[in-house]
A and B are shown apart, each in its own frame.
Chain A
């Protein structure tokens, strides 16, 4: 399968706060994002997940290695990689549909076409009835859905999601997981999704990348299938309570907690 985005030996160093030496946020990260993949990065705080996402998005330039988009080096942010942020980052002076079509407006798409495409994507995230609501009157979950629709409206090759569900309550969060999977199945974008919830990671990923801090690096990779089981059965609770799911969840938890008490990863 062809890679949409490839990372080749990416390293990222930040100057330390006290001015002595530097902090290695990422070390020798190589990763390929192939068509139709849902890649989830999981790890404790400070393991470089967000740095990795910012490097792929083009908000940061890696200090070593390179990021390739279909073979060409990435030189900055671009409309081929859409981003959904932890805090919605919507524009409060625009209503829901104006926020959704904002990217197409920046690209100079005519008002009729961009409104039509924004409406399609609002329907996809279930917000058709809220087109003209001001965004500050929406709940946190709905704001994230507008953020998702906005990113989709630019029709990127890849969606980057930086803990998009981190600020939501548990019930909304589970609903949003199913909604995002549904959107992914319909649009077939490559997704890179960051979380620090093990259960969320296992449920959603086709490929799970476990990261570890100091220096930030990838320690484990798993190919998973739970999201397809969910598509078949339509029952998220059944998937999450299956013995396979629990077994791998415990395995990953022991990796993460093992690191915290100072054991070396295998």
Chain B
């Protein structure tokens, strides 16, 4: 295997000579993942680190089963199909909620904020790209708040909205808004002058040119903005759930940390990572379906 950055060996027939980073890296990534999980298991098995600092994989899995009430639901299912007389297992969850309730609460918060951000930031970003007035109006506030970490204005959202759901949604909404607006604005620039001229010279009105040419041409960048935004949304979730939330993956992690339940902290992190990863895969599929021309013209 050649691990060099720049290959100076004789290239194989199908390779470009000197192309940086060529070749498929999936197998290497698989090895990395196995090594990380393996050394995690080995270190805890040999008791080199105390479980308070690094719980073993088995502990995390058993916590998953306990909080997700795996046994309870399996027995319930068996009872329903008549293979079992009654449900004996108990279901307590963690912080008075089961794992899927935590996940659903967090999904609800992230996706409703994300949805609100999409329906407002896309039109505003497009307007910024197409109109001097809109750009002049929206540029200063967006550029001002964008680099501020959400934790810094978290207290402000509590003062304004109280400790209910709206403050949490607002915090995540702000995190999602800026990347979508900025990408939509940049997307307007990906339409070529010739495409606009062509539409006008075929009798198009300004409204038609905006809707049928500019908007379509901006779509790839809008989708990129949405991918970035949803990642920001997950990042901000834990901060949003720091204040007076009863359920949510962030709440679960924060409460677990308070009781030094490191295994649950691990579980929460893995769950957030997994959900975010699945959504990113989904977005890539959507991209492929909606904008198959991306990067080809």
Contacts and interface: CB of A to CB of B under 8 A. Distances in A.
A78 B203 contact: yes
Given A85-B194, A91-B213, A91-B216, A77 B293 contact: no
A131 to B, nearest CB: 17
Interface of B: 192, 194-195, 197-205, 208, 212-213, 216-217, 219, 291-293, 296-297
A191 B286 CA distance: 43
A92 interface: yes
A73 interface: no
Interface of A: 57-59, 76-79, 81-83, 85-87, 89-93, 102-103, 105-107, 134-136, 150-151, 154
Contacts of A82: 201-202
**Listed residue (B199, B205, B217) with the most chain A CB atoms within 10 angstroms of its CB:** B199
Given A91-B195, A106-B208, A106-B212, A83 B201 contact: yes
A38 B197 CA distance: 23
A87 B293 CA distance: 17
Contacts of A136: 293, 296-297
B199 to A, nearest CB: 7
Give the one of B194, B197, B202, B203 with max A CB within 10 A: B202
Given A89-B192, A136-B296, A78 B201 contact: yes
Nearest to A83: B201
Nearest to A153: B202
Contacts of A91: 195, 213, 216-217
A160 to B, nearest CB: 8
Nearest to B196: A89
Nearest to B290: A93
A80 to B, nearest CB: 9
A34 B194 CA distance: 27
